[in-house]
Chains A and B, each alone.
Chain A
Amino acid sequence: MLRSRVIPCLLLQNKGLVKTVNFKDPKYVGDPINAVKIFNEKGVDELIFLDIDASSTDTEPDYALIEKIANECRMPLCYGGGIKSVEQAQKIIKLGAEKVAISSIVFDCSEIIDEMAAVIGRQSVVVVIDIKKNLFGKYEIYTHNGKKKIKQGLDKTLSILEEIGIGELVINSIDCDGEMKGYDTNLADRVRDLVSCPLTILGGASSQENILNLIERYKVIGAAVGSLFVFKGIYKAVLINYLDNNYRDKIFKIAGERKN
């Protein structure tokens, strides 16, 4: 049976990997290629790469880097960050990525989803939505690395995306980003029933047990993980890691149980 996916999510800034907390204070964590190589050798399910400055600085994707990253991946790669055109998406797919993630452009021009789908296939179009709670606890959408608030509400956005049809939805919690205090399951609950496409939750994974709990809750879901797979311990030592065999087995088991 289909298994849930556990996906390391890496952030790019100035050719280097960084990790943020609540989308702020990027801390340099090293060379992206070496990280990809190690994740590849560990046999991770998939990989997400997001260029966090591209939207704000309005720059072209770093195609040379994408090509190098894709060359090291024997698992699916999703690349995002400042993608605004079908040509860019097509180029990224040609370089070897499986999926392209778009975010801010969806709010300027939602037609781009169909346009991209026509060229690269709907299954390869991923929409990433960054979300932060306002003072009253209401979930609001932000773009441009958390700097620009979007007026359109979450529910409306999800209903539009469901109508259009996308390959995957990634919900990224700005409040949980880098905190390693647990996924926002309230947010996940809220979103899960509003879209029928594959859903991936990003932000806050605190431990392997936390990842497992997310999967147990939703049975089939993408658990994207940032800081947890890059840092270790109280000093946040940079050390690439992934699920151990024990947890991988448990995730297999959850999938297996669905057959019965």
Chain B
Amino acid sequence: MIGIIDYGSGNIQAIRNIYRGLKIETFIVKGPQDVPLATKLVLPGVGAFDEAIGKLDQSGLRSALDNAVLQNKVPVMGICVGMQIMADSSEEGTLKGLGWIPGSVKCFDINQMNTVPKLPHMGWNDISFSEHRIFDGIDKNIGFYFLHSYFFYADKKKDVIATSCYQNEFDCAINNENIFGFQFHPEKSHANGIRLFKNFSDILQC
């Protein structure tokens, strides 16, 4: 069963609603004892980097998640800040990230922006991706809904599976083996989002 991680950050209910609509069962992962029960994991997140990492530490879930994701290769999907905390570090904060995918989180450079609006990157934006089963049936022109001021900068280009453009091209989806991260909000992106969640659920062992 897909486990949605509740560590105090992110729109859990919206993700549950989507899976309920797809008739796919989910459960809420609240404590480390819940983690082994998940066949797949969804890691949501909003707000500031340090705050999210702090909450994750407080929840006691961190090592159970490290174990599930890094040792047992349980497929995991990080959303927005949930994706960002998979990095090593962030310009936004001082705490260390999970380090699941090598990279850092940077802020869009407003000094380079000469039109308004500047921050946050808010709204529907199209994405570019090369073929990947996670994007099966996704309309790239419609894209997804974004709401963020910081973005993931992957160290290795091979870990980037989709980019979007806000002032410049930036990494908006990452993947390494069982680990997926999406900067946008699939739980609030209508049909594309629903399809993405379905595709994630269909992924076989990575």
Interface residues of A (CB under 8 A from B): 1-5, 43, 45-46, 67, 70-71, 73-76, 93-96, 98, 118-124, 167-168, 192-193, 195-199, 219-220, 222, 252, 255, 259
Contacts and interface: CB of A to CB of B under 8 A. Distances in A.
Interface centre among B11, B51, B115, B185 (most CB of A within 10 A): B11
A120 B188 contact: no
A90 to B, nearest CB: 10
Interface stretch (B23-31, B98-106, B129-137, B143-151): B143-151
B3 interface: no
Interface string B1-34: 0000000000101100110000000000000000
B97 interface: no
Interface stretch (B62-70, B118-126, B153-161, B174-182): B118-126
A43 B190 contact: yes
Interface residues of B, number: 39
A2 B47 contact: no
B119 A196 contact: yes
A73 B187 CA distance: 9
B189 interface: yes
Contacts of A67: 13
A2 B121 contact: yes
A168 B122 contact: yes
A71 B13 contact: yes
B21 to A, nearest CB: 8
B82 interface: no
Contacts of B165: 1-2, 259
B95 interface: no
A46 to B, nearest CB: 8
Contacts of A73: 14, 188
Contact of B123 (A4, A43, A74, A195): A4
Nearest to A259: B165
A98 B188 contact: yes
Contacts of A120: 46-47
Nearest to A124: B46
A73 B86 CA distance: 28
A74 B46 CA distance: 17
Nearest to B120: A123
Nearest to A77: B188
